[in-house]
Amino acid sequence: MRAFYASAVVTKLIGRTTISKCESIGWRCRAAPVPFEGLPAPPCAMPGGPTVIRETPAHPGRAPRFHRSFPALPDPSRLNAMAEYFDVDHARAIAALHARFTARTEWPTWLLVVVIYGGWLAVLLLVRDGHLSLAAATPPLILLGAWHLSLQHELLHGHPTRSALVNKLLGYPPLTIWYPYTLYRDTHLEHHRDEDLTVPGIDPETNYVTRERWARLPRWRRALTVARKTFLGRIVVGPPLAIATTFRDAFAAFRRGDFRYLPMWLTHVACVVALLAWLQWAIGVPWWYYLLAVTWPALSLAMIRSLYEHRAAPHPKARITINEAGFAMRLLYLNNNYHLVHHDLPKLPWYDLPRAYRMRRDAYAKKCGGFVIRGGYRALLARHAWTPTDSPVHPFDAGTASLSTGSGIKVAVVDRVLQIST
């Protein structure tokens, strides 16, 4: 069975489709994959591999369909609609979570929206009226800014409404200034291609560089890149490096004649100018103080979560961590520390992630190859305060390329080694 499907898939891929992202393995190609619908779905899981239950988006007005298949690489526009389960019982248990009153109304997320925006505004009004000094107001503003970034992540994954426009409006106010919501949404959904996780030049949220780029970097850039892989170094140099990379990529796109995001940037800059002017003239908070003393530390606090939530590993799921953090950090990051659960169930709201993890705790630990941080972020601080989590150079000399036949079988080339997911 395994040999038959391997042969059939490779034959159809060679005969009927071409491969995207081919530069990462040295293949010359420009076309995108063309799904082949003629290959029949296998009647059961291949021997030696886990059974995977994957939810496919249902037609309007119909319930989701569950079927046995191999994980297929979805189209970017459908990434958020995919879910991966261990078995039918697991799928039913997750469906039961979606059917609860809490999930149907999304009241925890609505409450979060009110608390974050209301708290941010209340703190600033207390500063304006002289009831709170600017120094005393700074820590809660930092916390609310970092929390707002977590809220934006929840919004782009389809909560609390089914309307992408409404969710965008809820997350658009640039409380932390530097990142447009639209850009974050688009790049983050691209990041959810698990087969491409951590690969430089493909995964937009990677913390790695290629060997070739590393060889070209000056010493000071190497030092900053290594520092970003440490807990304290990420707090200090993480925000400036991330902001510089965002602006560099934006200007590089404009130089290439790619102006797709120009309206977004113009709108974002207008919102930022209006916000800073309001803070300066209506509230009495200097604009430069808000940028340096509020938004910068807020980004630092938010970036602790991504210090070691992914690693370079041959199997895609072994690249995604589970961090058993304490209550305060789980609330700040909206349970995104259960990162493998989130990647497998991207539509599951933040308040159900802990319950989903407890359902299959041992199975998730096995699925990620033991990439579980039992002591939470305190353990990360103890181990990696000044010690890098791993090398900033990606270990795959040839990178990866992944593709889907459209029939449920997923094929990837990882460092020039063909893998057929089961």
Angle at 11 between CA 6 and CA 13, to 5 degrees: 95
Residue 17's nearest CA partner among 37, 43, 45 is 37
Q: From CA 44, how far away is CA 183, in angstroms rounded?
A: 40
Cβ atoms of 16 and 36 closer than 8 Å: yes
Model-level pTM? 0.79
Q: What is the pLDDT of residue 82?
A: 75
Q: From CA 291, how far away is CA 277, in angstroms rounded?
A: 12
Residue 138 in tokens: 């700074």
Q: From CA 422, how far away is CA 42, in angstroms rounded?
A: 11
Give bridge partners of residue 373 from the DSSP assignment.
323
Centre a 10 Å sphere on the Cβ of residue 148 and count the other Cβ atoms it contains: 23
CA trace torsion 101, 104, 107, 113 (10° rounding): 170
Alpha-carbon Rg for the chain in angstroms: 22
Residue 376 in tokens: 């939470």
Q: Tell me the residue ranges of DSSP E strands in 249-407.
A: 322-323, 372-373, 400-404
* Series of mean pLDDT values for 10-residue runs along the chain (422 residues): 39 33 30 29 33 42 34 41 88 96 97 98 98 98 98 97 97 96 95 93 94 95 97 97 95 95 97 98 97 97 97 95 97 98 97 97 97 96 97 79 48 54 48
Map residue 419 onto helix, strand or coil.
strand
Q: What is the pLDDT of residue 77?
A: 42
Amino acid at 3: A
Q: What is the pLDDT of residue 420?
A: 52
Q: What is each CA distance from 32 to 29, 89, 191, in whole angstroms?
A: 9, 36, 18
SS3 percent helix, strand, coil of the chain, rounded to 5, is: 55, 10, 40
Cβ atoms of 50 and 422 closer than 8 Å: yes
Amino acid at 39: L
Residue 63 in tokens: 């319930």
Q: What is the pLDDT of residue 53?
A: 44
Q: From CA 421, how far away is CA 72, in angstroms rounded?
A: 9
Q: From CA 83, how far away is CA 341, in angstroms rounded?
A: 10
Q: From CA 263, how far away is CA 269, in angstroms rounded?
A: 10
Q: From CA 152, how far away is CA 168, in angstroms rounded?
A: 8
Q: What is the pLDDT of residue 396?
A: 84
- The residue written with tokens 């979606």 in the block is 98
Cβ atoms of 177 and 295 closer than 8 Å: yes
Q: From CA 195, how far away is CA 203, in angstroms rounded?
A: 9
Does the bond joining 108 to the residue before it have cis omega, within 30 degrees of 0? no
Residues 6+ apart with CB under 8 A from 14: none
Pair type for strands 417-420 and 400-404: unpaired
Helix (H) or strand (E) holding 105: helix 101-105
Amino acid at 248: R
Helix (H) or strand (E) holding 109: helix 107-128
Map residue 147 onto helix, strand or coil.
helix
